[in-house]
Structure 1
Amino acid sequence: MSHVEVQQVTNHLKHTMLMLLRKKGIQHIQVKDITTQAHVSRKIMLQFYPDKYAIFNEIVAEKKEELSKHLTETNEICDKIKKEDVIFCTILDFVQKNKPFFQTFIDRKMEPYIDFYDFFLECQQSVSNDELLVRSRAVSFYMTSLYAVKENRVFSFNEICEKFHKFNDESQHRINRICIKITGKYREKSKVEEILQHAFKELLLEKEKYEAITISDIMRKSDLRRATFYECYRSKEDLFSSLLQEECCKLIKLYSMEHHSDYDVETPSAVSTNQAYAYFPLFHICKNGCPLPNLLTDMVHQIISLYMEQKRKFDRENILNAYFFSNKILAFFLEKLYRQRL
């Protein structure tokens, strides 16, 4: 095969793999599915890829390389004053041009998962040596990409940048009021719910994967009957969602505590990491690598939901502001994790 033919075959295999991944998890995709859909023989596929995972890994690696190149070029040519806006637009433009990739992976409920926070971190390696700036950007890139995919980007690139700055310029007092509203309305859980959630958190620390936890495990750990579990929750996923909502409320309260006027807001860790760990158990779960699938996206959905519950209108501007609010909370959470790992 010529170089051009090889390129055509590998591109076709990657495109086929991406289409299959949109419909099902990688564990349910067989080599035969790929070759049949791509109209190539098994022998030809195995000439280029030893297995299906190699195709997936190459798809991700290529996207990282492509975005890294765009960001490096943007960083070199744009004016310092407008750099952040231009970089933002570069990300949104990249998401728009690679929408099938982002639609497949950014809000995924089945394996394989892509941690887009890490994805955007790696893409900036050659752009800046400022670790905190890179991490802050990675959260913003992730949030705007999620918004662009989930909400079909109802605002233009420039509008998103403009509204992002406007939200960031809002007084911290106003944002704190939102935090207080959210945390003030949270329902106290029953004793049984508390026991079940505690058992689930312990299992998350013990097990290597969220998927490995069963209802039977939760029953043994909590020493409760299965019928009692179903009086509170419909499923393991329902329990996790309830737990995550509570943890996100705690995180929002922790953010508000740190940014309250009684604290020195110039100090990056007014609420110490140790305080955060004591107050917010999810830090313990995440500190050595998170066993939960798509945790950041699930957290974002919970925070957006909590934010929107405080709004009377579900208009597009409030939805965008909900993403910006989530951006602040998520950046706070990830900064605490980063400081713990230093």
Structure 2
Amino acid sequence: MTDSKLRSADPELEHQTRQGLPSLVLAALGVVYGDIGTSPLYAFREALHATGGSGATHADVLGVLSLIVWALTIVVTLKYVTFVLKADNRGEGGTLSLMTLARESLAGRPKWVLVLGVIGGSLFLGDAIITPAISVLSAVEGIEVVAPALSNWVVPITLTIIAVLFFVQRFGTSGVASVFGPVTALWFIVLGLSGAIHIFDDPSVLGAVNPVHALRYIANNIGSAIAVLGAVFLAVTGAEALYVDLGHFGRRPIVTAWFSLVFPSLLLNYFGQGAFVLANPQMAEHPFFSMHPEWARIPMV
């Protein structure tokens, strides 16, 4: 088999041959991980609020953090990175690719698989509509911390940003990736550093890696468990992009970006927010922005 035929038979190899792994990793950061990278803005905060106002206690913080840590580990690392990314359809990912693989593996290509594929595509469309709104709105809400007098401008600014983002998508994945890749890489670096600094506020927060804290929290808070789990799920919104964008970048760049930068940065930031809240329970309303010094809040917004 010639090199050209080999590359055409393996889309991931073709991607890496043309652009190089580092370039693809950087591009994947901007396209694949932009959404899950904004989850620290609101996921931990909303999970604390869902506890019913008692979220600043040590047990609640460790319980919520443990749920977030293991949600990221199980849903993203175990489910998507370890298994789902390997289920590609000639290099392409996404719900419809899974549907095609399932239909081809079953005799008679049953229609119920097609129905499931359409339902899955509809759910993904709904997620694709609501998640950018949540991400951008949560980012712009930082204005309320920096300049409370401008709180009335949060929604208009959010709508403007979303309109601009959807407008620039017409330039294609490569154009978006070339701009957002370096910005998102810097964002994750800052996330990790800011979180790591605040872990020293209360190092006991690292105990959240023990899943017992998550199980104990659920067992002791049955009444609010569903609401908290719903908020914890916000920490993994955007994880489906790992599979959906498989055809753009290939498996190796997506996996490399996750383990080398995204996953460690997210964990450090969530732990930092937890430690900050334990040390400053009165500032649990907006832990992400509040844990930064005043000079850094505007750049973070």
TM-score band (shorter)?
under 0.3
The structure number with the bigger radius of gyration is 1
**Higher RCO, 1 or 2 (CA under 8 Å, sep at least 6)?**
2
TM norm structure 2: 0.26
Q: Which has the higher helix share?
A: 2
